[in-house]
Structure 1
């Protein structure tokens, strides 16, 4: 699986999200910026992303992921602080 395929899976699960995916083979870093995360705990945010890729994990296409989730406000703050 390539990063573009993973990106398409994640984008399909969100109405309005900025998605970036790095990696390849069966290991990926996924960053999702969406206001859908507003008010959610970090675990719930990751669960929403996992929901988009669970089938690929279950069939072994994806083995390992690292997920970063941000609301738009959190992403802007992280960028200003040099954390992103």
Structure 2
């Protein structure tokens, strides 16, 4: 599976302002930004990103998935302080 495929799946399934996937083989890192994450705990944010990818995780096309999910405000703060 390619990072671009994961980006497309997440973009179609979730209301995101920005999604970036890096990695290779079956190990990937996701940065997802969207207002949909407002008022969600970190765990709930990660569950929202995992949900559209469940079948690929189950088939081992995705073995490891690191997720950083932000609201637009959180994303701006992360970028401002260079924490990513």
Report the count of equivalent residues. 84
Unaligned runs of 5+ in 2: none
Shift >6 Å, 4+ stretches: none
The CA RMSD over aligned residues, in Å, is 0.8
Work out the CA distance in 2 between the residues paired with 1:10 and 1:24.
17
Unaligned runs of 5+ in 1: none
Work out the CA distance in 1 between the residues paired with 2:33 and 2:15.
11
| SS of structure 1 residue aligned to 2:23 | strand
Work out the CA distance in 2 between the residues paired with 1:64 and 1:71.
23
Work out the CA distance in 1 between the residues paired with 2:57 and 2:25.
12
Query: What TM-score do the two structures reach when normalised by structure 2?
Result: 0.95
Query: What TM-score do the two structures reach when normalised by structure 1?
Result: 0.95
